[in-house]
């Protein structure tokens, strides 16, 4: 039986985790709002950001820089790859606020190509499973898929 006058260290730790979760959620929300501001600026400066009549929402070099910095800053105890994957999902969700991307891949759902697509682009993209690699390239060429 626990002593009601003695503070429960587990309860205190859980409360601290709850506080941290709230802070993390607030920061992710703030980041998402900032991304919406970026999208607004991009829309205003559309002429500077287009190629082949498409807006440049997805900037793989920018994403690589962010993920590289995340891994460099990481001091554990989570592994750097785990931390990068968490940020990959945050980036994916935030990018979907600007534009939901469609990514075509070879093979049915659950295959290595599907897994690689999710690992690289995150969960917030639309995926399109195609039976042949030629179909994947045709979808991208026809602008039916972004990648």
Task: Indicate the angle between helix axes 9-44 and 80-98, nearest 10 degrees.
Answer: 40
pLDDT for residue 46 = 73
pLDDT for residue 105 = 96
Give the residue among 90, 129, 93 at the shortest CA–CA distance from 112. Answer: 129
pLDDT for residue 59 = 84
- Cis? peptide before 77, omega within 30° of 0: yes
pLDDT average per 10 residues of sequence, the chain (147 residues): 73 97 98 94 72 65 95 97 96 91 94 94 94 96 93
CATH 1.20.59.10 domain span(s) along the chain:
8-99
Write down the residue that tokens 């501001």 correspond to: 37
CATH classification of 100-147, choosing from 1.10.1240.10, 3.40.50.920, 3.40.190.10, 3.30.465.10? 3.40.190.10
CATH 3.40.190.10 domain span(s) along the chain:
100-147
CATH code for the part of the protein at 8-99 = 1.20.59.10
- Nearest-Å Rg of the Cα atoms of the chain is 20
What is the torsional sign of CA 110, 114, 120, 126?
negative
What is the torsional sign of CA 19, 22, 28, 33?
negative
From CA 121, how far away is CA 113, in angstroms rounded? 12
- Between the alpha carbon of residue 29 and those of residues 5, 64, 114, 133, 146, the distances in Å are 38, 22, 28, 38, 26
**Distance from CA of residue 89 to its chain's centroid?**
3
């Amino acid at each position: 039986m626990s002593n009601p006058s003695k503070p429960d260290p587990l309860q205190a730790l859980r409360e601290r985790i709850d506080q941290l979760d709230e802070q993390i959620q607030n920061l992710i929300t703030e980041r998402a709002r900032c991304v919406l501001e970026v999208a607004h600026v991009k829309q205003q400066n559309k002429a500077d950001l287009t190629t082949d009549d498409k807006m440049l929402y997805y900037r793989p070099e920018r994403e690589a820089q962010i993920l590289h910095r995340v891994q460099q800053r990481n001091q554990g105890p989570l592994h750097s790859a785990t931390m990068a994957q968490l940020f990959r999902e945050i980036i994916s969700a935030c990018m979907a606020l600007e534009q939901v991307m469609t990514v075509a891949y070879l093979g049915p759902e659950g295959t290595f190509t599907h897994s690689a697509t999710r690992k690289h682009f995150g969960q917030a993209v639309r995926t399109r499973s195609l039976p042949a690699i030629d179909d994947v390239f045709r979808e991208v060429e026809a602008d039916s898929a972004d990648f």
